[in-house]
Chains A and B, each alone.
Chain A
């Protein structure tokens, strides 16, 4: 019966179920939690859309999503934080010089590679260019780093950002990720499909290593806290007339009959709760807007002649190539687009967190979970990817207490303080890995088209 359902039916049913689940969380746990999950679901969906663009449309295998998301996160910090003037005056010029030399070296090397005929002389020229460039870059870079990291290292010790509105960082994060994708794509596309996977794995490890270790840029493991928000702060809401009167109106029922101090206290509690919910709603609105925009673009692209060409390439590369399509070129294009979407999602996530914490970038959470979302939701189908984002994130979050509860229940017969029992309950979180892996394998095997399959055209 299920297999006969039309896609529209399946999508409606699945999304209704998802919405109901979120409402249930709101009713039984709390609305703040429900909205927190919703926000992360929205961001996950954007990320899943990005991966779906690469995998679903073109069959490109990217296992470095974490790196692109981390680039987005770095962009959020670099765009929004106010610049640290002392650090700039301490090492700003040197950093600029080293950056100039670095870029000049790359251009010179590219020039030698392209313009000189292949000979021993070319090799020598290449070595000379690289060594000189490296030495010059280091000459300015090292003192700059020392100077910057020494300026008030407990509080700053980094250059800060541009001090622009954080919303701007979303497209910037997309651009950064697109740039990285361009480099990777240029190297690894056109070769065997697994080489792209290995190359993306490598670049993502490197991006995260840079975020963790380049303190002058990102403060490394000291984290950057207190990124400016695109939405109002709770404290501002407490002090604004319209919000207070709104809350009074909403809670007029429970406030009636209360006088003086009791009323103050009740109002305060209501204010605190509503402010939290309001802020989360604002975020949800922003994220949903981005999701809708990207989804619309995706749908338009998939239905256009371009989308048809991409499917043709995916389904039979040789035939498409024989028809005169530039397969590697199109692959590069779509790889860049998908990575940019992941970058945008990464910037959104850091915006929501309000801080850049490089240690939170682990492949499991940022690469493999997203893959499970795409495969389970239905690769090649945009709505499927979004549904996957919602569903898998929801399960992921709710399975943590669930796993601990299950383990406690299973080991209930063991005495308190038993070593085996403690170990099992403590390690319950790792069972999520096993479950996610099993879900991936089972869906791939028995329902390879996912919950909402790609439409046959």
Chain B
């Protein structure tokens, strides 16, 4: 029977490497998936440019951060990027509205099949991707400053006397706080305000909502603004937590789509749940359990292998597998999203 401290050590280890990163990553995915799902619900196509729009917003925020830093501005213990964020959001909103006007609106007016819009979003993705690489290059950028940790592993060890430390990065704390605020705001907006209600009506039944006098252009515009803001924030939070690299953001497209579909595409609550489902599956499946198990079993049983279900290089395969399972078992997703 393992001793109490061993169990506690195992728990702390698990929390440190699985629970906390999972919550932070899940919140980032949820914010990204919310954007995808809103666009899907209102504009009725899967926006493949989403990942690169995210990269664009993050890039503008990084540039603004550098500019603020060069001016000697800082946000105390918080990262300067949070001050630069409004600028990033504004630029991304502008980008989305311009692409909508130049590209998507034409196909919407023509009532093209969704796949044409998807293809158009591919073209937009190309252009935005090119612009981002042209401006900031393809390298890794780290732009986190301010206090790195809310709690350091050593402090936790001293505090509790355990072997294992529990570290909480500020980026993780910021992510969770911002995600909660944003989700709260979004649901308040969708449920209580006139604009939010008209969005839901439009998503439910386009013809009926038009008959009741809802202005479709306004609904579309609000959708892009919200999606752009959510996307930029998701991108900046991800970049603060890990790092910014244009190609990584393109690759985030897969887990984000998986999250939206798993939760039920077109359903905001589904996007949030889906985000956490995907994030936790990724972390749980790629985490090596060797140390955790070593604490829990008698010494002679201690495992030799890493006890890792899948290498971290295959983390994208995890979101794909979950996507496949959901498509096979329940194609509408957990929360019964849009019709197929």
A interface residue numbers (CB < 8 A to B): 59, 61, 63, 134, 142, 187-188, 191-195, 197-199, 201-203, 205-206, 209, 212-213, 363-364, 368, 371, 375, 427, 430-438, 440-441, 444-445
B296-340 vs A, CB cutoff 8 Å, 1 = contact: the mask equals 000000000100010101101101100110011001000000001
Q: Which partner residue on chain A sits nearest B339 by CB separation? A: A192
Given contacts A191-B331, A197-B118, contact A441 B127 (CB under 8 A): yes
Q: Establish whether residues A202 and B130, one from each chain, have CB atoms under 8 Å apart when the complex forms.
A: no
Contacts of A371 in B (CB 8 A): 119, 122
Max chain A Cβ within 10 angstroms of own Cβ: one of B46, B116, B134, B257: B134
B243-258 vs A, CB cutoff 8 Å, 1 = contact: the mask equals 0000000110110011
Q: Establish whether residues A198 and B257, one from each chain, have CB atoms under 8 Å apart when the complex forms.
A: yes
| B328 CB contact (under 8 Å) in A187, A427, A432, A445 | A187
Interface pairs (27), CB distance under 8 Å: A61-B115, A61-B119, A142-B305, A191-B340, A195-B261, A198-B257, A198-B258, A198-B261, A199-B323, A202-B254, A205-B251, A205-B317, A205-B320, A206-B320, A375-B119, A427-B134, A430-B133, A433-B126, A433-B127, A435-B130, A437-B129, A437-B130, A438-B123, A440-B119, A440-B123, A441-B123, A444-B119
Interface class of chain B by DSSP: helix
B interface residue numbers (CB < 8 A to A): 45-46, 48, 103, 106, 113-116, 118-120, 122-131, 133-135, 137, 250-251, 253-254, 257-258, 261, 305, 309, 311, 313-314, 316-317, 319-320, 323-324, 327-328, 331, 340
Closest beta carbon of chain B to A365's beta carbon, Å? 12
Q: Establish whether residues A437 and B254, one from each chain, have CB atoms under 8 Å apart when the complex forms.
A: no
A444 CA to B106 CA in the complex, in Å?
11
| A209 CB contact (under 8 Å) in B124, B250, B257, B313 | B313
A293 CA to B186 CA in the complex, in Å?
57
A192 CA to B260 CA in the complex, in Å?
14
| B317 CB contact (under 8 Å) in A187, A194, A206, A364 | A206
Given contacts A191-B340, A193-B114, A441-B120, contact A433 B324 (CB under 8 A): no
Given contacts A209-B314, A213-B311, contact A198 B46 (CB under 8 A): yes
Max chain B Cβ within 10 angstroms of own Cβ: one of A194, A199, A209: A194
| B130 CB contact (under 8 Å) in A63, A192, A213, A432 | A432
Closest beta carbon of chain A to B91's beta carbon, Å? 17
A349 CA to B258 CA in the complex, in Å?
32
A434 CA to B134 CA in the complex, in Å?
9
Contacts of A195 in B (CB 8 A): 261, 327, 331
Q: Establish whether residues B254 and A430, one from each chain, have CB atoms under 8 Å apart when the complex forms.
A: no
A243 CA to B327 CA in the complex, in Å?
60
Q: Establish whether residues A202 and B319, one from each chain, have CB atoms under 8 Å apart when the complex forms.
A: yes
Q: Establish whether residues B125 and A437, one from each chain, have CB atoms under 8 Å apart when the complex forms.
A: yes
Given contacts A202-B323, A205-B251, contact A433 B119 (CB under 8 A): no
Contacts of A61 in B (CB 8 A): 115, 118-119
Q: Which partner residue on chain B sits nearest A196 by CB separation? A: B115
Contacts of A203 in B (CB 8 A): 320
Closest beta carbon of chain A to B228's beta carbon, Å? 19
Closest beta carbon of chain A to B307's beta carbon, Å? 10
Max chain A Cβ within 10 angstroms of own Cβ: one of B48, B115, B129: B115
Q: Which partner residue on chain A sits nearest B332 by CB separation? A: A191
Q: Which partner residue on chain B sits nearest A448 by CB separation? A: B116
6 nearest A-B pairs in the assembled complex, by CB-CB distance? A437-B126, A433-B130, A434-B130, A437-B127, A202-B320, A430-B133
Q: Which partner residue on chain A sits nearest B130 by CB separation? A: A433
A437 CA to B134 CA in the complex, in Å?
14
Contacts of B125 in A (CB 8 A): 437
Q: Establish whether residues A191 and B327, one from each chain, have CB atoms under 8 Å apart when the complex forms.
A: yes
Closest beta carbon of chain B to A201's beta carbon, Å? 6
Q: Establish whether residues B130 and A440, one from each chain, have CB atoms under 8 Å apart when the complex forms.
A: no
Q: Establish whether residues B261 and A433, one from each chain, have CB atoms under 8 Å apart when the complex forms.
A: no
A59 CA to B314 CA in the complex, in Å?
31
Contacts of A199 in B (CB 8 A): 320, 323-324, 327
Q: Which partner residue on chain B sits nearest A435 by CB separation? A: B130
Q: Establish whether residues A438 and B127, one from each chain, have CB atoms under 8 Å apart when the complex forms.
A: yes
Q: Establish whether residues A437 and B314, one from each chain, have CB atoms under 8 Å apart when the complex forms.
A: no
Q: Establish whether residues A197 and B46, one from each chain, have CB atoms under 8 Å apart when the complex forms.
A: yes
| A430 CB contact (under 8 Å) in B48, B134, B319, B328 | B134
Closest beta carbon of chain B to A134's beta carbon, Å? 8
Q: Establish whether residues A427 and B316, one from each chain, have CB atoms under 8 Å apart when the complex forms.
A: no
A432 CA to B129 CA in the complex, in Å?
11
Q: Establish whether residues A441 and B324, one from each chain, have CB atoms under 8 Å apart when the complex forms.
A: no
| B316 CB contact (under 8 Å) in A59, A209, A432, A444 | A209
Contacts of B135 in A (CB 8 A): 427
Q: Establish whether residues B106 and A63, one from each chain, have CB atoms under 8 Å apart when the complex forms.
A: no
A151 CA to B22 CA in the complex, in Å?
38
Closest beta carbon of chain A to B253's beta carbon, Å? 7
Q: Which partner residue on chain A sits nearest B315 by CB separation? A: A209
A184 CA to B80 CA in the complex, in Å?
44
Q: Establish whether residues B316 and A205, one from each chain, have CB atoms under 8 Å apart when the complex forms.
A: yes
Contacts of B309 in A (CB 8 A): 134
Closest beta carbon of chain B to A247's beta carbon, Å? 45
A187 CA to B330 CA in the complex, in Å?
12
Max chain A Cβ within 10 angstroms of own Cβ: one of B123, B305, B319, B324: B123
Q: Establish whether residues A194 and B129, one from each chain, have CB atoms under 8 Å apart when the complex forms.
A: no
